[in-house]
Amino acid sequence: MEKKELTDKLKGIKGILPSGHLVGAGFSFQWKDADGQIQEFHAGPKLLVGFCGAFLASLMGLAVCAGLLFKAWDEQTELANYRADYGVYTERLAKLMDDNEKLQRELAQVVQVENAVRQKLAKDGVKIGEDAVDKKSKELDKGGQGGSTTADQLSVLEVQDEINWKKLAYKKENLTNMLLALSDTGDGTYGWPVSGGEISSFFGLRADPFGNGSDYHPGVDIAVDYGTPIKASAAGTVEDAQWNGGYGRFVSINHGNGLTTCYGHMSAIAVQPGQTVRRGDIIGYAGSSGYSTGPHVHFEVRQNGSPVNPLNFARPVG
């Protein structure tokens, strides 16, 4: 009895649940409605294919829509970034153009004063050659001309801005040196070591002649022809007459009272240590020995062992 009741209950449950099975190449689905009647749905092969196709088409449509939405979002992000970059670009460009105009005006003023000082020095008999500062400035002029026609405007202005700052610094340095020469020209107590020539580098901070930044120059350089006689600036005793590192062939003369004159880069030395010399005696010949870029005389004055501006003691002569 109990077994029969259990079987009947299972049949009842089975009758309530829907069932489905493949029929041929189609699909059949059965269920009982509220009245206990068996209902059946049968999908043939064509309907199944259509349903699958519609389902796949829907998936593809969703994928396409998602792709379009992502592309639109990406384009909006890119546009926002472009607008932000453009704003920064225009701001930098405006600032660079303004800086460039100010630099050009200041540079023109410095050049004007420099030319006036140069003319005054020339009237006083001081010949000013093209020193390392002038050369550096002219090199920058060459580098700043023209430019690639494909370079964008901002890059060109950034390069030009940097060049102008360097030119201005070199010009100011050169002007400072010439003003020192204008105010410190000696009274002629000490003689100029050569006849003729031009000052090619002043005393103090200067641009290194080999292009290695700036260095301290403890004397003045006088550009002359190779082999030009070098004369003692004043009477004294020769202390040193030999090769001396960057000075090349070098002579130093002790004049007493803590003053010593030095002469460097000679091609040949004409005196010996301990020898007594008078003002104007030949002590050697101009050359380019040691740390040098061409024939010249390095003229240096030391007071109690420390270099001082030679133009405070000796007047340049033509």
Residues 213 and 257 in one domain: yes
For the chain, what is the domain count?
2
C-alpha distances out from residue 194 to 50, 234, 235, Å: 109, 13, 15
The pTM score is 0.50
How far is Cα 178 from Cα 172, in angstroms, rounded to an integer? 10
- 162 shares a domain with 222: no
pLDDT at 305: 94
Is 4 a domain residue?
no
Gap between the Cα atoms of 89 and 28, Å rounded = 70
Q: Is residue 240 part of a domain?
A: yes
The confidence score (pLDDT) of residue 216 equals 78
Return the pLDDT at 297.
96
The pLDDT score that the predictor gives to residue 5 is 59
- Please provide the size of the chain in residues: 318
Q: How far apart are CA 297 and CA 230, in angstroms?
A: 8
Full domain range(s) for residue 302: 198-312
Across 55-63, average pLDDT: 77
Shared-domain flag, residues 163 and 210: no
**Residue where a domain terminates, one of 161, 184, 207:** 184
Strand ranges in the chain using DSSP code E only, listed in sequence order: 19-23, 26-32, 38-43, 198-201, 204-207, 214-217, 220-223, 229-231, 236-243, 249-256, 259-269, 276-277, 282-286, 296-303, 306-308
d(CA 165, CA 107): 9
Residue 21 lies in a domain: no
Q: What's the rounded Cα separation, in Å, for the pair 221 and 234?
A: 18
- Is position 93 within any domain? no
Kindly report the backbone phi and psi dihedral angles of residue 267, in degrees, each rounded to the nearest multiple of 5, phi listed first: -85, -30
Interacting residues of 296 by C-beta distance below 8 A, sequence separation 6+ = 197, 200, 221, 222, 223, 224, 265, 286, 288
Based on the domain organization, do 207 and 304 belong to the same domain?
A: yes
Are both 212 and 307 inside the same structural domain?
A: yes
Q: Is 159 in the same domain as 245?
A: no
* pLDDT tens track for 200-250: 777 876 655 555 556 678 998 988 999 999 999 999 999 999 999 999 999
> Which domain CATH number covers 269?
2.70.70.10
305 and 217 in a single domain? The answer is yes
